Each structure stands twice: as C-alpha cells, then as structure tokens.
Structure 1
Amino acid sequence: MTLLDAPDPRWHEFAQREIDSLIQRIDGLVAVHHVGSTSVPGLPAKPILDLLPVFRDAETKAVAKTQFEALGYEWLGEHGLSGRDYARKFDPKNGKRVVHAHCYVSDHPDITRHLAFRDALRNKATLRAAYTSVKAACASRHPEGGAAYGLCKSEWIDKAEARALARIQETSK
C-alpha cells in the first residue's frame, strides 16, 4: 500500500458533491473551498478531500457541530489549531477517512494562506513538480503517513506559502 495515490480527476467531482451537501445542510456558511493536494489537478495525494468551510461568524461555527455530526462527521474542535474547528468523515463501507473539514470564521488569516498555497500550486507547474518531489520523498521516509509525514513536508510548505502570500500582497498594492 502506498501513502499517495496518483492524481484522480474525479477528486474535484467528489469534492463538489460534498461541498454542495455542506452548503445545503450547514447553517451560516459563506463558502466551502476545496483545498489540499486533491484540489490541484495533476498532484499526487492521499485520497482524502480537504475542505475549508467558512462561516459568517463564530456563533454559527460554534453551533455547526451537531449539523456536521448529522452528516456523518466526527467533530474534534480546534484539534491543535487555534481558531479552526476540525471535523473528519469516514466512508461507512470501508472505514477509510474520506474528508477533512477545516472550519474557520470568515476573517481568519489561515483562509488566505490555504487558498494562496492552493492557487500557487494550480498555477505554477514548477511549484507542483517540486511539491510532488517533496511529497514522494516524505512518503518514502514515512509510509505510515500521520504526523511524521506532515512534519517532513512542513518546512517546504511554510516557505511556499510565504512566497504565495507575498505575491498576493505585491499584487494588491
């Protein structure tokens, strides 16, 4: 078993179905973005969708827990990141994790960070190629995935995100 799957063009379709379901059933959502590696065409990834639900305010995010749980999500609260609520969904047929939901209130700076990184990967083939190499090396070192795999990639991601955010700031001047 490998940690990373080859790019699957159906990831976008699967994400859109889940996004539509969340928008229809969760109160207070402003938007739901598809982020993470499955949101970037041509990028190998763990076959888990990363979604970024954005709430209009803290109150609607706080009461969303029961609505997420009704849709089959396990709500874990901040789960180590201040200002984010994290929920995950498992496939009831095989028990595999299929969705991560990183929930934020609309003014949280991590929203811009996630979107900047995603868009930079979508728009720059050289960045995608570099990230593919980093992911492959980390997956080789940490085939079990988890925190060790994430930590292995984190320095590269932090630098790429910082450059993507700097580009946004430059173009908004």
Structure 2
Amino acid sequence: MSLLVAYDASWPAMAQAEATRWRENVMGLVTVHHIGSTAIPGMPAKSVIDLLPVFADAAAADAAQSAVETMGYEWMGAFGLEGRRYCRNFDPETGQRRVHAHAYVQGHAGIRRHLAFRDALLGNAPLRVAYASVKAACAGRHPDGGVGYQDCKSAWIAKTEARALETLK
C-alpha cells in the first residue's frame, strides 16, 4: 500500500461528520476546522483526516480529555508542540488511523499557522502542485511515513507557512 493516495472527494464529508461528533460530545469548543492535505481538493494525501478543534480556554481543553477518549481517541497531550492537545483515532475494524486532531486554545499561534498554510494551498494552484511534488518525493524516500516523512517535508512547509503568515500581516 502506498503512503499517499489520490484525493478522495468524500474526505470533506468525513471531516464534517467527525467535526460534528466533536461539537456534540466535547464541551468548551469554539469551532472545529478541517486542515491538512485532505482539506485541499485534488491533493494526494495519507488517508487520515486532520482536524483543528479550537477550545475557548485551557480549562475547557484540559477537561475535554475524558470526552475525547470516550469518543475513541487516544489523547497524546502536547506531543512535541507546546500548547497543543494531540489526539488520534483509529478505525476499530482495520486498526488504521482515521483522524488526527490538533487541538488548541483560542488565540494560540498554532491555529493561525495551520489555517494560513491550508488557505495558501487552497488559493494557489502552483503551490499545490509544488507541495504534491514534495510529498511524493518524501513518500518515495520514506514509504512507511512516520517521522522521516514528516521531517522530509518540514523545511518546505515551514517556508510556505512563513510566507503565508506574512501575507496576513
């Protein structure tokens, strides 16, 4: 199985359904965004939905752990990024990852960074082509994904995020 798959037109509906599940089961949310490559029409991606739940405050975010775990997520805490609450959900039948949730408290810079990157890709076809090329090259070098795949893409993503954030100023 390839690390990346062709864009699936069902991803936005899947993300919306999962975001609705979050809103119905987790108190203290302001909103839930669909981010990552599955949010970019036409973009090849790992078949994992990335969500960005935004909490009203730190107390609500921390209190959400039990509800999130009850929904079948593994609560990973910051998982290397200060201020984030990272959670992942697996398909109970296949064991494959279904959803990554990168939760932040309203106002955290991580929210702006994720949304700026997503929106830059949505609004710029040549940038999408370039990112698809980077992803393909990194998947070729790191077919099992993981940290190697993430590290391979990180410099390109950081540069693109920085440019996207500059345009917001």
| TM-score between the two structures when normalised by the length of structure 1 | 0.97
Question: Which residue of the partner structure matches residue 114 of structure 2?
Answer: 114
* % identity of equivalent residues: 56
Structure 2 residue identity aligned to 1:145: G
Question: Which residue of the partner structure matches residue 88 of structure 1?
Answer: 88
- Tell me the distance in 2 between the aligned counterparts of 1:108 and 1:48: 24
Question: Which residue of the partner structure matches residue 70 of structure 1?
Answer: 70
Shift of 1:80: 1.0
Deviations 1:43-93 (A, max 9, x none): 000000110000000000001000001100010111111100110000001
Question: Which residue of the partner structure matches residue 52 of structure 1?
Answer: 52
RMSD: 0.5
Q: Segments of 4+ in structure 1 off by > 2 A? A: none
- Tell me the distance in 2 between the aligned counterparts of 1:113 and 1:78: 16
Question: Which residue of the partner structure matches residue 7 of structure 2?
Answer: 7
* 1:100 alignment partner, SS class: strand
Q: Would you say how many aligned residue pairs link Structure 1 and Structure 2?
A: 169
* 2:143 alignment partner, SS class: coil
- Unaligned runs of 5+ residues in structure 1 are none
- Tell me the distance in 1 between the aligned counterparts of 2:76 and 2:151: 21
- Tell me the distance in 2 between the aligned counterparts of 1:144 and 1:74: 21
Pairing 1:1-173 to 2, within 5 Å after superposition: 1-169=1-169
